[in-house]
Structures are given as C-alpha cells and as structure tokens.
Amino acid sequence: MIPSFNYQRWILLFGDVVLILLATQLSPWLRMGRPFNVFDIHTGASTFTLLLYVIMLYIFDMYNIGRAFRSADTVLRIAVTVCAVAVFSAFLFYSLPNWQYGRGILFIQILLVWGFLTGWRWIYSFFFSINLHKTDVLIIGAGRCGTALSHLLGAEFSPYRVVGFLDDDPAKQGKVMGSPKVLGAYRTL
C-alpha cells in the first residue's frame, strides 16, 4: 500500500464533510427563499445527518482510493447512499418530534448532496490520479478461458497487465487477442 493514500482519503473525507455541510446550509435557503442558520435550529438533526452520510459513504465503499470515481458506478453508488440516508433520516426525523425537518428541505438537501458528492469525486479523480503499479503477466492458453482471464486481468484497477498469451496451437500464434499478441510456446518432453 502506498503511504500517500492515507492523506488522500483524508482529503476526500474533508471535502465530503464540507460539501454535506454546505448542502445542509443551502437547502433551507433554497426552499424558503431566505437564508437562516439551520445549524442553530436543527443542531441534532444536522449533526446526525452528517455522521450518517459519512458512515454510509464508507459502507458503500466510496472511500476506496483505488476506485474509478469517473464512472457510472460512482454516480449510482452515491445515489444509493443518498437514498439510504434519506430513508433512514426521514424515518428518524418524523419519529422524533424535536428533530422534525421539512420534507421540501430534506428533498433539496438530498439532491444537493448527490450533486456535490458526485462532482467532488470527479474533481478529486482529476487531481489524484491513481498510479497503480501493474505486474506484467503472460496467460497460458489463448482459448475461451484464456480470453476470459485476460478480460478479468485487464480491468482498470487490476494489479496485472496482460502482455501476451502462450499457446501451442500454430493457428493462434501471432494473432492479436484483444490487445496482447499470442506467442508461440515450445513443447518439451
């Protein structure tokens, strides 16, 4: 594990906290049309929501620095995270009379958090590109299993880079399967 990943996680977490707090502050303003300090009025609910977002982002693996943040998977995972937090928060907020929160404000906050966190992950991925050291591998056999294995090993965050196939079938030698070339293998007795 590269030591720089630790501080990158902290930067990701810090950005999440700031953006969630910003969304919490902006949502009543957008709903009511006037600014007011939501943290004074709904201190418990705001704190709980912030902690719940961070926990759910961790559960849905959004602090995994080796993940591709510029993908549809990230957008979907953040959407599921935000929906899970919304359901749990709505249940809790409307069960406790002191923590009641306007539905419109909650809905706006959900949209803002989803947009902010998705945008933050995309921006983050531009500044902290992942430099994984890949180990070169040769796959023995260029048949269906070898091709399937090359697709698995050729994934974006796989620690391996397929550089070629070894196969004793003369018809397959020299052909390009995906991007690696099929090399000839010699039989020894």
Q: What is the pTM of this model?
A: 0.65
Q: Would you state the pLDDT for residue 176?
A: 64
CA angle (57 as vertex; 95, 120 as ends), nearest 5: 120
* pLDDT tens string 101-128: 667 778 888 999 999 999 999 999 888 7
As a whole-number percent, the residues of the chain with pLDDT over 90 amount to 23
What does CATH list as the number for 135-184?
3.40.50.720
pLDDT tens digits along 155-189: 766 778 888 888 777 777 776 665 565 555 443 32
Take residue 133 and report the two structure tokens written for it: 């050291």
The residues spanned by each domain of the chain are: 4-127, 135-184
Identify which of 109, 119, 104 has the alpha carbon closest to the alpha carbon of residue 48: 109
pLDDT in tens, 26-54: 888 888 887 777 766 667 777 888 899 99
For helices 72-95 and 103-127, the axis angle rounded to 10 degrees is: 150
DSSP string, 40-73: HHSHHHHHHHHHHHHHHHHHTTTT-TTS-SSSHH
With a CB cutoff of 8 Å and minimum separation 6, the contacts of 82 are 53, 110, 113, 114, 117
Which DSSP symbol is given to 136? E
pLDDT at 3: 46
Q: What is the mean pLDDT of the chain?
A: 79
Strands (E), the chain: 135-140, 160-167, 181-184
